[in-house]
Chains A and B, each alone.
Chain A
């Protein structure tokens, strides 16, 4: 995959940070506004997919490669499980909140909910990206 015309490349390059920022916003504010880890992760993955479509597979591989996406996906899943174990360590149920709740409506509030959503965002981003890469490689995009 060699990439597309300069018009598409420039548009994708200009749009990429905004799409990424919007996805990160949706993930981080998941406990305050509509959204959360799953849709935000898909938006972040879409920003990378846009780069792949415009520049070809090599340029995107430099930023987030196949192995790095696999590792990120596993780290996201592990983080969820470990955050759940904090509840068990504190003597309450699995995944139950043991962190301070904070002030209602602020960014740092809601105990473990923002952390869980952050982990899910990383996991979904890496997962969607992995599916995309796997399909590209399957049709002969690798090497």
Chain B
């Protein structure tokens, strides 16, 4: 019984691995190519290129990462701060309950 289970597990692992390799080789972009999301037709219109060129005069910050984090993606970072707040509230609640039940 154990032998059959082991063989089944091995077959499952091998099949999944083969499917994953197939998926990577067939559907993923080629190695080394870095497709950016484009606004217009040419590669010059890619979002990353646009941000790199326009960030200093649009946001006035010397650090492009900052202009992305709080300038272009402010909502996202507000959510990030909310995640931290939720984590803190969760930890405080968890340990206060643990302390009361002692």
Binding site for B on A (CB under 8 A): 30-34, 36, 38, 73, 76-77, 80-81, 84, 94-97, 101-102, 104-105, 109-113, 116-117, 120, 123-124, 127, 130-131, 134-135, 137-138, 140, 142
Contacts and interface: CB of A to CB of B under 8 A. Distances in A.
17 contacts: A30-B63, A31-B67, A32-B63, A36-B63, A77-B85, A104-B60, A104-B62, A113-B67, A117-B66, A117-B70, A127-B87, A127-B88, A131-B91, A131-B92, A134-B96, A138-B94, A142-B99
Contact of A113 (B71, B82, B92): B71
B20 interface: no
A95 B78 contact: yes
Given A77-B81, A138-B96, A33 B63 contact: yes
Contact of A32 (B61, B84, B92): B61
Contacts, number: 106
A80 B77 CA distance: 10
In which size bucket is the chain B interface? 20 to 34
A135 to B, nearest CB: 6
Given A84-B78, A101-B60, 14 more contacts: A36-B63, A36-B69, A76-B81, A77-B85, A80-B78, A81-B78, A94-B75, A95-B75, A109-B60, A111-B60, A113-B60, A123-B81, A127-B87, A131-B87
Interface in B55-75: 56-57, 59-63, 65-67, 69-71, 74-75
B95 A134 contact: yes
Given A30-B63, A32-B63, A97 B71 contact: yes
A34 B63 contact: yes
A135 B91 CA distance: 8
Interface in B25-41: none
A94 B74 contact: yes
B98 interface: yes
A113 B66 contact: yes
